[in-house]
Amino acid sequence: MTNGRRPAGPKFRLHPAQAVATGFALTVLIGTGLLSLPVAKAGPGGASFAEAIFTATSAVCVTGLTVVDTATYWTPFGQVVILLLIQVGGFGVMTFASVIGLAVVRRLSLRSRVTAASEVRSVGLEDVKGLVLGVVTISLAVEMIVALLLSLRFLVGYGEPVGRAIWLGVFHAVSSFNNAGFALFTDNLMGYAVDPFICLPIAAAVILGGLGFPVIVQLRKHLRSPRQWTMNTRIVLAGTVTLLVAGTVYITAVEWSNPATLGPLDWPAKVLVGFFQSVQTRTAGFNSIDVGAMDSASLLGMDVLMFIGGGPAGTAGGIKVTTFAVLYFILVAEIRGDGVVNVFGKRLSRAVHRQAITLVLLAVFVVTASTAALMLITDIGLDALLFETISAFGTVGMSTGITAGLPPAGQAILILLMFIGRLGPITFASALALRERPPAYEFPKERPIIG
Protein backbone atom coordinates (compact mmCIF):
# COMPACT_ATOMS: atom_id res chain seq x y z
CA MET A 1 0.00 0.00 0.00
CA THR A 2 1.39 3.37 -0.94
CA ASN A 3 0.76 6.76 0.52
CA GLY A 4 -0.08 8.21 -2.88
CA ARG A 5 2.99 10.42 -3.05
CA ARG A 6 5.33 10.40 -5.99
CA PRO A 7 8.91 9.49 -5.24
CA ALA A 8 11.05 12.55 -4.96
CA GLY A 9 12.98 13.09 -8.13
CA PRO A 10 16.43 14.64 -8.43
CA LYS A 11 16.44 18.31 -7.63
CA PHE A 12 18.26 20.78 -9.81
CA ARG A 13 20.72 22.74 -7.74
CA LEU A 14 23.29 25.27 -8.79
CA HIS A 15 26.94 24.76 -8.00
CA PRO A 16 28.06 27.48 -5.54
CA ALA A 17 30.16 29.11 -8.26
CA GLN A 18 27.15 29.10 -10.57
CA ALA A 19 25.00 30.58 -7.80
CA VAL A 20 27.46 33.43 -7.31
CA ALA A 21 27.63 34.14 -11.05
CA THR A 22 23.84 33.99 -11.32
CA GLY A 23 23.44 36.33 -8.36
CA PHE A 24 25.76 38.91 -9.89
CA ALA A 25 24.04 38.64 -13.28
CA LEU A 26 20.57 39.13 -11.76
CA THR A 27 21.79 42.12 -9.77
CA VAL A 28 23.23 43.65 -12.94
CA LEU A 29 19.90 43.15 -14.72
CA ILE A 30 17.96 44.73 -11.84
CA GLY A 31 20.36 47.67 -11.81
CA THR A 32 20.04 48.01 -15.58
CA GLY A 33 16.27 48.18 -15.27
CA LEU A 34 16.39 50.84 -12.56
CA LEU A 35 18.93 52.97 -14.41
CA SER A 36 16.80 52.74 -17.58
CA LEU A 37 13.92 54.50 -15.86
CA PRO A 38 13.39 58.14 -16.92
CA VAL A 39 13.64 59.20 -13.27
CA ALA A 40 17.25 57.98 -13.18
CA LYS A 41 18.50 60.20 -16.00
CA ALA A 42 18.84 63.96 -15.97
CA GLY A 43 16.96 65.56 -18.83
CA PRO A 44 14.21 64.14 -21.02
CA GLY A 45 13.87 60.42 -21.68
CA GLY A 46 15.70 57.56 -20.12
CA ALA A 47 19.18 56.12 -20.49
CA SER A 48 19.79 53.74 -23.37
CA PHE A 49 20.14 50.04 -22.64
CA ALA A 50 23.85 50.17 -23.46
CA GLU A 51 24.46 53.05 -21.05
CA ALA A 52 22.38 51.45 -18.31
CA ILE A 53 23.89 47.97 -18.51
CA PHE A 54 27.46 49.26 -18.74
CA THR A 55 26.98 51.47 -15.68
CA ALA A 56 25.17 48.76 -13.73
CA THR A 57 27.87 46.19 -14.51
CA SER A 58 30.60 48.64 -13.57
CA ALA A 59 28.86 49.42 -10.26
CA VAL A 60 28.04 45.82 -9.28
CA CYS A 61 31.54 44.69 -10.25
CA VAL A 62 32.93 47.69 -8.28
CA THR A 63 34.97 48.84 -11.26
CA GLY A 64 34.26 52.49 -11.99
CA LEU A 65 34.57 52.61 -15.77
CA THR A 66 31.88 54.87 -17.21
CA VAL A 67 30.47 55.78 -20.60
CA VAL A 68 28.60 58.82 -19.26
CA ASP A 69 29.41 61.47 -16.66
CA THR A 70 28.17 60.17 -13.30
CA ALA A 71 27.97 63.68 -11.88
CA THR A 72 25.73 65.21 -14.55
CA TYR A 73 24.10 62.39 -16.50
CA TRP A 74 22.31 60.70 -13.60
CA THR A 75 19.75 62.24 -11.27
CA PRO A 76 20.03 61.85 -7.48
CA PHE A 77 17.83 58.75 -7.87
CA GLY A 78 20.21 57.30 -10.44
CA GLN A 79 23.20 58.08 -8.23
CA VAL A 80 21.53 56.35 -5.27
CA VAL A 81 20.94 53.28 -7.45
CA ILE A 82 24.62 53.29 -8.41
CA LEU A 83 25.59 53.61 -4.74
CA LEU A 84 23.39 50.66 -3.75
CA LEU A 85 24.77 48.54 -6.60
CA ILE A 86 28.31 49.33 -5.44
CA GLN A 87 27.45 48.34 -1.87
CA VAL A 88 25.78 45.09 -2.91
CA GLY A 89 28.64 44.29 -5.28
CA GLY A 90 31.17 45.03 -2.56
CA PHE A 91 29.43 42.84 -0.02
CA GLY A 92 28.99 40.14 -2.63
CA VAL A 93 25.54 39.27 -3.80
CA MET A 94 25.53 35.84 -2.15
CA THR A 95 27.06 37.21 1.06
CA PHE A 96 24.42 39.94 1.10
CA ALA A 97 21.67 37.35 0.62
CA SER A 98 23.10 35.30 3.48
CA VAL A 99 22.99 38.35 5.75
CA ILE A 100 19.32 38.80 4.95
CA GLY A 101 18.77 35.12 5.70
CA LEU A 102 20.52 35.50 9.04
CA ALA A 103 18.31 38.42 9.96
CA VAL A 104 15.16 36.46 9.07
CA VAL A 105 15.81 32.92 10.27
CA ARG A 106 18.83 33.46 12.53
CA ARG A 107 20.69 30.60 10.92
CA LEU A 108 22.43 29.50 7.75
CA SER A 109 21.77 26.26 5.93
CA LEU A 110 24.79 24.19 4.89
CA ARG A 111 24.25 25.09 1.25
CA SER A 112 24.07 28.80 2.11
CA ARG A 113 27.32 28.44 4.03
CA VAL A 114 28.99 26.78 1.03
CA THR A 115 27.74 29.55 -1.28
CA ALA A 116 28.91 32.28 1.10
CA ALA A 117 32.28 30.55 1.41
CA SER A 118 32.59 30.57 -2.38
CA GLU A 119 31.73 34.26 -2.53
CA VAL A 120 34.18 35.44 0.15
CA ARG A 121 36.85 32.90 -0.87
CA SER A 122 36.73 31.43 2.64
CA VAL A 123 39.03 28.48 3.33
CA GLY A 124 36.62 26.59 5.57
CA LEU A 125 32.96 26.48 6.50
CA GLU A 126 33.28 26.57 10.29
CA ASP A 127 33.19 30.33 10.62
CA VAL A 128 31.31 31.51 7.54
CA LYS A 129 28.50 32.94 9.65
CA GLY A 130 30.92 35.00 11.70
CA LEU A 131 32.82 36.06 8.58
CA VAL A 132 29.65 37.20 6.82
CA LEU A 133 28.60 39.28 9.80
CA GLY A 134 32.15 40.59 10.06
CA VAL A 135 31.98 41.73 6.43
CA VAL A 136 28.94 43.86 7.18
CA THR A 137 30.28 45.24 10.46
CA ILE A 138 33.69 46.15 9.06
CA SER A 139 32.28 47.63 5.86
CA LEU A 140 29.78 49.88 7.60
CA ALA A 141 32.27 50.94 10.29
CA VAL A 142 34.96 51.99 7.81
CA GLU A 143 32.46 53.66 5.50
CA MET A 144 30.92 55.65 8.36
CA ILE A 145 34.30 56.92 9.60
CA VAL A 146 35.49 57.89 6.12
CA ALA A 147 32.12 59.46 5.29
CA LEU A 148 32.34 61.60 8.44
CA LEU A 149 35.85 62.80 7.61
CA LEU A 150 35.00 63.61 4.01
CA SER A 151 31.69 65.29 4.90
CA LEU A 152 33.42 67.58 7.39
CA ARG A 153 36.06 68.48 4.80
CA PHE A 154 33.50 69.25 2.09
CA LEU A 155 31.45 71.26 4.59
CA VAL A 156 34.22 73.24 6.27
CA GLY A 157 36.90 73.33 3.59
CA TYR A 158 34.77 73.91 0.51
CA GLY A 159 31.60 75.49 1.87
CA GLU A 160 29.26 72.81 0.55
CA PRO A 161 25.71 72.86 2.00
CA VAL A 162 25.19 70.36 4.81
CA GLY A 163 23.07 67.96 2.76
CA ARG A 164 25.40 68.10 -0.23
CA ALA A 165 28.48 67.64 1.98
CA ILE A 166 26.98 64.57 3.66
CA TRP A 167 25.96 63.06 0.32
CA LEU A 168 29.43 63.61 -1.15
CA GLY A 169 31.02 62.10 1.95
CA VAL A 170 28.79 59.03 1.98
CA PHE A 171 29.01 58.35 -1.75
CA HIS A 172 32.80 58.60 -1.95
CA ALA A 173 33.27 56.64 1.28
CA VAL A 174 31.23 53.72 -0.07
CA SER A 175 32.86 53.99 -3.48
CA SER A 176 36.38 54.04 -2.02
CA PHE A 177 36.05 51.22 0.52
CA ASN A 178 34.45 49.02 -2.13
CA ASN A 179 37.24 49.93 -4.55
CA ALA A 180 34.67 51.18 -7.06
CA GLY A 181 36.17 54.46 -8.24
CA PHE A 182 32.87 56.20 -9.03
CA ALA A 183 32.98 59.93 -8.23
CA LEU A 184 30.41 62.71 -8.24
CA PHE A 185 32.69 65.15 -10.03
CA THR A 186 33.13 65.43 -13.78
CA ASP A 187 36.93 65.34 -13.46
CA ASN A 188 36.80 62.56 -10.86
CA LEU A 189 39.08 63.81 -8.03
CA MET A 190 41.44 66.00 -10.07
CA GLY A 191 40.09 69.09 -8.31
CA TYR A 192 41.31 67.70 -4.97
CA ALA A 193 44.68 66.34 -6.11
CA VAL A 194 46.71 68.28 -3.53
CA ASP A 195 44.20 68.11 -0.67
CA PRO A 196 45.39 65.46 1.82
CA PHE A 197 42.14 65.75 3.80
CA ILE A 198 40.27 64.35 0.78
CA CYS A 199 42.89 62.08 -0.77
CA LEU A 200 44.23 60.35 2.35
CA PRO A 201 40.88 59.19 3.84
CA ILE A 202 39.89 57.86 0.42
CA ALA A 203 43.28 56.16 0.02
CA ALA A 204 42.98 54.61 3.49
CA ALA A 205 39.53 53.22 2.67
CA VAL A 206 40.82 51.79 -0.61
CA ILE A 207 43.75 50.08 1.13
CA LEU A 208 41.54 48.59 3.84
CA GLY A 209 39.00 47.32 1.32
CA GLY A 210 41.82 45.88 -0.77
CA LEU A 211 43.33 43.91 2.12
CA GLY A 212 40.44 41.47 2.17
CA PHE A 213 37.97 40.82 4.96
CA PRO A 214 39.75 37.77 6.47
CA VAL A 215 42.91 39.85 6.91
CA ILE A 216 41.02 42.73 8.50
CA VAL A 217 39.19 40.37 10.85
CA GLN A 218 42.43 38.71 11.91
CA LEU A 219 44.19 42.04 12.45
CA ARG A 220 41.28 43.18 14.59
CA LYS A 221 41.65 40.09 16.78
CA HIS A 222 45.42 39.63 16.80
CA LEU A 223 46.93 42.99 15.86
CA ARG A 224 49.57 42.74 18.59
CA SER A 225 50.23 39.03 18.09
CA PRO A 226 51.89 38.63 14.66
CA ARG A 227 52.80 35.02 15.49
CA GLN A 228 49.13 34.14 15.24
CA TRP A 229 48.78 35.60 11.76
CA THR A 230 48.08 33.12 8.99
CA MET A 231 50.22 32.78 5.89
CA ASN A 232 47.51 34.61 3.94
CA THR A 233 47.64 37.62 6.27
CA ARG A 234 51.43 37.78 6.20
CA ILE A 235 51.57 37.58 2.40
CA VAL A 236 48.84 40.19 1.89
CA LEU A 237 50.40 42.69 4.33
CA ALA A 238 53.93 42.26 3.01
CA GLY A 239 52.79 42.37 -0.60
CA THR A 240 50.55 45.38 -0.06
CA VAL A 241 53.29 47.46 1.56
CA THR A 242 55.84 46.45 -1.08
CA LEU A 243 53.57 47.24 -4.03
CA LEU A 244 52.35 50.54 -2.55
CA VAL A 245 55.91 51.76 -1.96
CA ALA A 246 57.17 50.51 -5.31
CA GLY A 247 54.19 52.02 -7.14
CA THR A 248 54.56 55.37 -5.40
CA VAL A 249 58.28 55.61 -6.18
CA TYR A 250 57.82 54.49 -9.79
CA ILE A 251 54.89 56.73 -10.70
CA THR A 252 56.34 59.77 -8.92
CA ALA A 253 59.76 59.33 -10.54
CA VAL A 254 58.45 58.80 -14.08
CA GLU A 255 55.91 61.65 -13.90
CA TRP A 256 58.11 64.04 -11.89
CA SER A 257 58.81 66.41 -14.78
CA ASN A 258 55.73 65.73 -16.89
CA PRO A 259 54.14 69.18 -17.41
CA ALA A 260 50.70 67.62 -17.88
CA THR A 261 50.72 65.73 -14.57
CA LEU A 262 53.19 66.24 -11.69
CA GLY A 263 55.47 68.81 -13.32
CA PRO A 264 53.79 72.01 -12.02
CA LEU A 265 53.45 70.72 -8.41
CA ASP A 266 55.87 71.17 -5.52
CA TRP A 267 57.57 68.04 -4.17
CA PRO A 268 55.17 67.31 -1.27
CA ALA A 269 52.23 67.50 -3.68
CA LYS A 270 54.06 65.28 -6.17
CA VAL A 271 54.58 62.62 -3.51
CA LEU A 272 50.93 62.86 -2.42
CA VAL A 273 49.65 62.48 -5.98
CA GLY A 274 52.12 59.68 -6.73
CA PHE A 275 51.04 57.81 -3.60
CA PHE A 276 47.35 58.36 -4.35
CA GLN A 277 47.68 57.02 -7.89
CA SER A 278 49.68 54.05 -6.65
CA VAL A 279 46.86 53.24 -4.21
CA GLN A 280 44.27 53.50 -6.98
CA THR A 281 46.01 50.84 -9.04
CA ARG A 282 45.01 48.43 -6.24
CA THR A 283 41.68 48.31 -8.17
CA ALA A 284 40.02 51.47 -6.85
CA GLY A 285 40.15 53.61 -9.98
CA PHE A 286 39.93 57.18 -8.72
CA ASN A 287 42.28 59.59 -10.46
CA SER A 288 43.62 62.91 -9.21
CA ILE A 289 45.57 63.61 -12.42
CA ASP A 290 44.80 63.12 -16.11
CA VAL A 291 45.63 59.46 -16.76
CA GLY A 292 45.52 60.04 -20.51
CA ALA A 293 48.38 62.53 -20.18
CA MET A 294 50.66 60.17 -18.28
CA ASP A 295 53.86 58.78 -19.80
CA SER A 296 53.63 55.41 -21.55
CA ALA A 297 56.13 54.01 -19.05
CA SER A 298 53.80 54.99 -16.21
CA LEU A 299 50.88 53.29 -17.92
CA LEU A 300 52.90 50.10 -18.35
CA GLY A 301 53.89 50.09 -14.67
CA MET A 302 50.29 50.71 -13.68
CA ASP A 303 49.24 47.83 -15.96
CA VAL A 304 51.36 45.50 -13.84
CA LEU A 305 49.99 46.87 -10.55
CA MET A 306 46.39 46.70 -11.76
CA PHE A 307 46.87 43.14 -13.00
CA ILE A 308 48.15 42.06 -9.57
CA GLY A 309 45.38 43.88 -7.69
CA GLY A 310 44.73 43.58 -3.96
CA GLY A 311 44.07 40.91 -1.36
CA PRO A 312 41.64 37.99 -1.78
CA ALA A 313 38.17 37.88 -0.23
CA GLY A 314 37.80 41.65 -0.33
CA THR A 315 36.59 44.35 -2.67
CA ALA A 316 39.72 44.38 -4.84
CA GLY A 317 40.17 42.68 -8.18
CA GLY A 318 43.15 41.46 -10.20
CA ILE A 319 44.86 38.10 -9.81
CA LYS A 320 45.43 39.07 -6.15
CA VAL A 321 48.60 39.73 -4.17
CA THR A 322 48.65 36.18 -2.82
CA THR A 323 48.67 34.67 -6.32
CA PHE A 324 51.54 36.91 -7.39
CA ALA A 325 53.46 36.10 -4.19
CA VAL A 326 52.95 32.35 -4.67
CA LEU A 327 54.42 32.57 -8.17
CA TYR A 328 57.35 34.56 -6.80
CA PHE A 329 58.08 31.99 -4.11
CA ILE A 330 57.77 29.14 -6.64
CA LEU A 331 60.27 30.97 -8.86
CA VAL A 332 62.72 31.43 -5.98
CA ALA A 333 62.39 27.77 -4.96
CA GLU A 334 63.02 26.57 -8.52
CA ILE A 335 66.08 28.81 -8.91
CA ARG A 336 67.48 27.52 -5.63
CA GLY A 337 66.69 23.94 -6.55
CA ASP A 338 64.49 23.40 -3.50
CA GLY A 339 62.19 20.40 -3.52
CA VAL A 340 59.40 22.27 -1.77
CA VAL A 341 58.20 25.88 -1.56
CA ASN A 342 58.44 27.37 1.92
CA VAL A 343 56.73 30.64 2.83
CA PHE A 344 57.16 32.30 6.24
CA GLY A 345 58.16 29.04 7.90
CA LYS A 346 55.32 27.02 6.34
CA ARG A 347 55.33 24.61 3.39
CA LEU A 348 53.11 25.65 0.51
CA SER A 349 50.62 23.07 -0.70
CA ARG A 350 51.20 21.83 -4.25
CA ALA A 351 47.51 22.34 -4.96
CA VAL A 352 48.11 26.07 -4.42
CA HIS A 353 50.88 25.94 -7.07
CA ARG A 354 48.41 24.64 -9.64
CA GLN A 355 45.70 27.10 -8.66
CA ALA A 356 48.03 30.09 -8.94
CA ILE A 357 49.43 29.03 -12.30
CA THR A 358 45.95 28.25 -13.65
CA LEU A 359 44.54 31.58 -12.53
CA VAL A 360 47.40 33.60 -14.02
CA LEU A 361 47.30 31.77 -17.34
CA LEU A 362 43.54 32.27 -17.59
CA ALA A 363 43.94 35.96 -16.71
CA VAL A 364 46.69 36.46 -19.29
CA PHE A 365 44.59 34.73 -21.94
CA VAL A 366 41.49 36.83 -21.16
CA VAL A 367 43.40 40.12 -21.19
CA THR A 368 45.39 39.26 -24.33
CA ALA A 369 42.36 38.05 -26.28
CA SER A 370 40.29 41.08 -25.26
CA THR A 371 43.06 43.52 -26.17
CA ALA A 372 43.49 41.86 -29.56
CA ALA A 373 39.75 42.01 -30.18
CA LEU A 374 39.65 45.71 -29.35
CA MET A 375 42.62 46.36 -31.65
CA LEU A 376 40.71 44.71 -34.51
CA ILE A 377 37.60 46.86 -34.13
CA THR A 378 39.23 50.22 -33.24
CA ASP A 379 42.13 52.39 -34.39
CA ILE A 380 43.28 53.13 -30.82
CA GLY A 381 46.89 52.41 -29.84
CA LEU A 382 48.07 49.41 -27.86
CA ASP A 383 49.02 51.41 -24.75
CA ALA A 384 45.50 52.76 -24.21
CA LEU A 385 43.71 49.52 -25.12
CA LEU A 386 45.88 47.33 -22.92
CA PHE A 387 45.39 49.78 -20.05
CA GLU A 388 41.63 49.72 -20.61
CA THR A 389 41.34 45.94 -20.71
CA ILE A 390 43.48 45.39 -17.61
CA SER A 391 41.54 48.13 -15.84
CA ALA A 392 38.27 46.37 -16.66
CA PHE A 393 39.53 42.88 -15.85
CA GLY A 394 41.12 44.06 -12.60
CA THR A 395 37.89 45.97 -11.74
CA VAL A 396 40.04 49.09 -11.39
CA GLY A 397 38.12 51.70 -13.34
CA MET A 398 40.94 54.01 -14.40
CA SER A 399 40.90 55.00 -18.05
CA THR A 400 42.88 57.06 -20.51
CA GLY A 401 39.54 58.50 -21.64
CA ILE A 402 38.64 56.09 -24.43
CA THR A 403 35.75 54.19 -22.77
CA ALA A 404 32.87 56.30 -24.04
CA GLY A 405 34.32 56.40 -27.56
CA LEU A 406 34.55 52.65 -28.00
CA PRO A 407 32.05 51.03 -30.40
CA PRO A 408 29.20 48.98 -28.88
CA ALA A 409 31.13 45.75 -29.45
CA GLY A 410 34.11 47.21 -27.59
CA GLN A 411 31.97 48.25 -24.65
CA ALA A 412 30.42 44.78 -24.60
CA ILE A 413 33.93 43.31 -24.30
CA LEU A 414 34.59 45.57 -21.31
CA ILE A 415 31.29 44.51 -19.70
CA LEU A 416 32.32 40.86 -20.00
CA LEU A 417 35.80 41.65 -18.66
CA MET A 418 34.38 43.42 -15.61
CA PHE A 419 32.06 40.51 -14.92
CA ILE A 420 34.84 37.92 -15.25
CA GLY A 421 37.23 40.05 -13.22
CA ARG A 422 34.79 40.46 -10.32
CA LEU A 423 34.01 36.75 -10.14
CA GLY A 424 37.58 35.65 -10.74
CA PRO A 425 38.64 33.60 -13.77
CA ILE A 426 38.56 30.26 -11.95
CA THR A 427 35.13 30.93 -10.40
CA PHE A 428 33.81 32.04 -13.78
CA ALA A 429 35.17 28.95 -15.53
CA SER A 430 33.83 26.58 -12.88
CA ALA A 431 30.44 28.33 -13.04
CA LEU A 432 30.26 27.38 -16.72
CA ALA A 433 31.07 23.74 -16.05
CA LEU A 434 27.97 21.55 -16.04
CA ARG A 435 29.30 19.05 -13.53
CA GLU A 436 32.44 18.01 -11.73
CA ARG A 437 34.32 15.10 -13.29
CA PRO A 438 36.56 13.24 -10.83
CA PRO A 439 39.23 11.24 -12.68
CA ALA A 440 38.45 7.55 -12.99
CA TYR A 441 42.07 6.64 -13.71
CA GLU A 442 45.57 8.14 -13.98
CA PHE A 443 48.08 8.01 -16.82
CA PRO A 444 51.75 7.07 -16.34
CA LYS A 445 54.12 9.94 -15.60
CA GLU A 446 56.59 11.39 -18.09
CA ARG A 447 58.54 14.65 -18.09
CA PRO A 448 59.11 16.82 -21.17
CA ILE A 449 62.20 19.02 -21.49
CA ILE A 450 61.54 22.52 -20.11
CA GLY A 451 63.51 25.49 -21.38
Note the pLDDT tens digit of each residue in 212-248: 888 888 888 888 888 888 888 999 999 999 999 999 9
42-48-49-54 Cα dihedral, nearest 10 degrees: -60
Is pLDDT at 434 greater than 50 in this prediction? no
CB neighbours of 298 closer than 8 A, spacing ≥ 6?
A: 250, 251, 254, 255
Over range 140-169, report the average pLDDT. Answer: 96
Q: Is 361 exposed, middle or buried (0-12, 13-18, 19+ CB in 10 A)?
A: exposed
Mean pLDDT of the chain: 86
Note the pLDDT tens digit of each residue in 397-409: 999 999 999 999 9
What's the confidence (pLDDT) of residue 121?
53
On whether residue 365 sits in a domain, the answer given is yes
What's the confidence (pLDDT) of residue 427?
65
Angle, nearest 10°, between helix axes 213-222 and 128-152?
A: 90
Residue closest to 286 by CA, chosen among 424, 396, 388: 396
Q: Is 200 exposed, middle or buried (0-12, 13-18, 19+ CB in 10 A)?
A: middle
On whether residue 167 sits in a domain, the answer given is yes
What's the confidence (pLDDT) of residue 417?
96
The structural domain count of the chain equals 1
Instruction: Give yes or no for a contact between 74 and 41, defined as CB atoms under 8 angstroms apart.
Output: yes
Note the pLDDT tens digit of each residue in 300-347: 999 999 999 998 877 888 999 999 999 999 999 989 988 888 888 888
Residue closest to 307 by CA, chosen among 365, 255, 250: 365
What's the confidence (pLDDT) of residue 204?
96
Is pLDDT at 433 greater than 60 in this prediction? no
Over range 126-131, report the average pLDDT. Answer: 60
On whether residue 7 sits in a domain, the answer given is no
On whether residue 451 sits in a domain, the answer given is no
CB neighbours of 371 closer than 8 A, spacing ≥ 6?
A: 382, 385, 386, 389
Note the pLDDT tens digit of each residue in 356-386: 888 899 999 999 999 999 999 999 999 999 9
On whether residue 446 sits in a domain, the answer given is no
Is pLDDT at 275 greater than 60 in this prediction? yes
Residue closest to 133 by CA, chosen among 103, 154, 158, 176: 103
Which helix (H) or strand (E) segment is 343 a member of?
strand 342-343
On whether residue 447 sits in a domain, the answer given is no
Residue closest to 285 by CA, chosen among 186, 183, 413, 374: 183
| pLDDT band, very low/low/confident/very high, at 438 (cuts 50, 70, 90) | low
pTM of the model: 0.88
Length of the chain: 451
CB neighbours of 416 closer than 8 A, spacing ≥ 6?
A: 370
Angle, alpha carbons 56-62-63 (nearest 5°): 85
Sign of CA dihedral 330, 332, 335, 340: negative
Greatest CA separation for the chain = 91
Note the pLDDT tens digit of each residue in 129-141: 666 777 788 889 9
Q: Please state, as a whole number, how many other Cβ atoms lie within 10 Å of the Cβ of residue 139.
A: 21
Note the pLDDT tens digit of each residue in 242-267: 999 999 999 999 999 999 999 999 99
What's the confidence (pLDDT) of residue 123?
47
In this prediction, what percent of the chain has a pLDDT beyond 90? 61
Host domain of residue 52 = 16-427
Angle, alpha carbons 72-77-83 (nearest 5°): 85
Is pLDDT at 185 greater than 80 in this prediction? yes
Is pLDDT at 47 greater than 70 in this prediction? yes
